[in-house]
Chain A
Amino acid sequence: MIITKQKEFSCLLESINKDPVFIVGCSECATLCHTGGGEEVLSMKTALEKEKITVTGWVVLEPACHLQNDKRLLRKYKKEIDDAKKVLVLSCGNGVQTVSEIISDSKVIAGTDTLFLGEIKHVNEFEKRCIMCGECIQDLFGGFCPVSRCPKGMLNGPCGGSVDGKCEVDSELECVWDSIFRYLKEKGLTGDMKKIREPKDWSKSVEWRRKI
């Protein structure tokens, strides 16, 4: 899932600059992250109105990254959107751009920061799991992804910095190589870690613009 976090309310107020606003949420990731579902859209509406900002309307797109669905849904809110000067989008960075493609008369404001593709561990607790590198090599590592989970993207075993199984960069973070080692050891496969893994072919990723 795409993990987002809402921007600071004061930043949003600054961007909105007292103008009338239409709020857009998303039915998928932002709903699960509690950053842009129906509930969050409504509390945003209340918070903005408390600041004497006019909220002309709101919608939760299904999902915001779907261009054709968005066109269909947003058509129903033409008047509300026309009445607004700003459109506040509470979705991931993709949703913001899809909405921008459709709405040209109002300024679109990104209401969240998009963080990563990750796992929901518990409510409001997320961990990065994928960087969409274009070529999945997790099966070499017992189903763990060092490309996304090791801050140095090491492919040939742990660096010299982990302590008690925790990453040198963040003592709260498990060293993914420690997990890989323990997993392979349990399966009697630590010999796999002695094979030299070639440099990754980043031409398979989206380093440059790509469409499929």
Chain B
Amino acid sequence: MVYRSNLEKILSEKGFAVTAEVGPPKGSDPGKIKAKGEIVQGFADAFNVTDNQTGVVRLSSLGGCVVLRGMGLEPIMQLCCRDRNRIGLQSDVLGGFAVGIRNMLFITGDHQCFGNHPGAKGVFDLDSIQLIRVVRDMRDMGVFQSGDKILSGKPDVFIGGAANPFADPFEFRVDRLEIKIDAGVDFVQTQSVFNLDRFNEWMDEVRSRGLDKRVHIVAGVTPLKSLKMADRMKFHVPGVDIPDEVYNRIKNAVDPKSEGFDIALGLIDEVKKIRGVHGLHITALFWEDVIPRLVEESGLLPRP
């Protein structure tokens, strides 16, 4: 079997994958993302480079992926629907593939009102499900969204998406995953898990529908660095569910940073045991240097 990427190989061969987010800098200095790459190299199988996350302008995902690839890291290029229409999105898929990017992850994107250019006009020409379907058709059928034929080189990418088991309406969350699978997604990374009960409830339904056999589910974990970050994520980031019990552990801790690490370690331990979870996705916001220790202490080393 020839795999498109190492990530696809690990997931397909029933290994337990580890992915990690590498946030690109707010500037054009490639040294910043290189430095992050050096810290995490060898501690995960593939690295997400976010696409102007939360609507804040940063070095592009495509550019960041090229830098990481140059260092020998396998990137996951993220593309969101907020800033480009179907022409721009399809063009970036072709361009990304041409420079060797084999994993791509497609999301609708945070609304621009949360970012540093709230006056920007949001595009949202496609939603994430439509974009996934468009890329699948480019890859498998060699056609653009318009039906026009791709003339030279179908982008043979491993298609990723996001899944949020914690958003409302909860009853629809598994349906939404199913629609994404029908659209053509190969793997999904979930919103960071803090509420294990709810995640388990979602996974039970995922397994009962057999969806874990149709898509690779990679569970998100975020180590909380401080009470400030826990506050922000609990009260201000849409779609994040931090139960009071977890929040209070950080709040009452003598050393919140160390408590945040322990909570993450505990969560990783739990999600590893859940049937149908095929990997771990670490989003250590502004705390990338914790990734090596977190992966090591979770017993997930060495990486294949």
Instruction: Collect the chain B residues with CB atoms within 8 Å of residue A118's CB.
Output: none
Contact with B along A137-162 (1 / 0, CB 8 A): 00000000000000111111111111
CB < 8 Å neighbour of B122 from A151, A157, A182, A202: A151
* A32-80, CB < 8 A from B: none
Indicate the size class of the contact surface on chain A: 20 to 34
Q: Are A158 and B167 in contact, with the CB atoms below 8 A?
A: yes
Tell me if B164 counts as interface (CB < 8 A to partner A): yes
Do A157 and B130 contact each other (CB < 8 Å), given the known contacts A151-B122, A168-B111? no
In the bound assembly, the distance between CA atoms of A165 and B169 in angstroms comes to: 7
Using a Cβ cutoff of 8 Å, how many contacts connect chains A and B? Answer: 99
In the bound assembly, the distance between CA atoms of A130 and B134 in angstroms comes to: 26
Q: Are A160 and B179 in contact, with the CB atoms below 8 A?
A: no
In the bound assembly, the distance between CA atoms of A178 and B183 in angstroms comes to: 22
Tell me if A175 counts as interface (CB < 8 A to partner B): yes
Tell me if B175 counts as interface (CB < 8 A to partner A): yes
Do A156 and B130 contact each other (CB < 8 Å), given the known contacts A181-B169, A193-B175, A202-B125? yes
Q: Are B183 and A194 in contact, with the CB atoms below 8 A?
A: no
Q: Are A152 and B167 in contact, with the CB atoms below 8 A?
A: no
Nearest residue (CB) in B for A153 is: B124
Nearest residue (CB) in A for B86 is: A199
CB < 8 Å neighbour of B238 from A165, A168, A178: A168
Contact with B along A161-185 (1 / 0, CB 8 A): 1111100110000010010011001
Q: Are A157 and B134 in contact, with the CB atoms below 8 A?
A: no
Q: Are A165 and B168 in contact, with the CB atoms below 8 A?
A: yes
Q: Are A196 and B175 in contact, with the CB atoms below 8 A?
A: no
Within the complex, what minimum Cβ distance (angstroms) separates A159 from chain B?
5
Instruction: Collect the chain B residues with CB atoms within 8 Å of residue A153's CB.
Output: 124, 127
Tell me if B162 counts as interface (CB < 8 A to partner A): yes
Q: Are A194 and B239 in contact, with the CB atoms below 8 A?
A: no
Q: Are B239 and A175 in contact, with the CB atoms below 8 A?
A: no
In the bound assembly, the distance between CA atoms of A182 and B129 in angstroms comes to: 21
Nearest residue (CB) in B for A197 is: B130
Q: Are A160 and B178 in contact, with the CB atoms below 8 A?
A: no
Within the complex, what minimum Cβ distance (angstroms) separates A183 from chain B?
12
Instruction: Collect the chain A residues with CB atoms within 8 Å of residue B238's CB.
Output: 160-163, 168
Q: Are A194 and B130 in contact, with the CB atoms below 8 A?
A: no
A-B complex: 10 closest residue pairs judged by Cβ atoms: A160-B164, A161-B238, A168-B238, A156-B129, A160-B239, A160-B167, A153-B124, A154-B127, A161-B239, A152-B124
- B-side residues, CB < 8 A to A, are 81-82, 86, 108-111, 113, 122, 124-130, 133-134, 145, 162, 164, 166-169, 171-172, 175-176, 178-179, 182-183, 191, 238-239
Jot down 13 A-B pairs with beta carbons below 8 A, ordered by A.
A152-B127, A156-B130, A156-B183, A159-B127, A160-B191, A163-B167, A165-B169, A178-B169, A194-B175, A194-B182, A196-B179, A198-B130, A202-B125
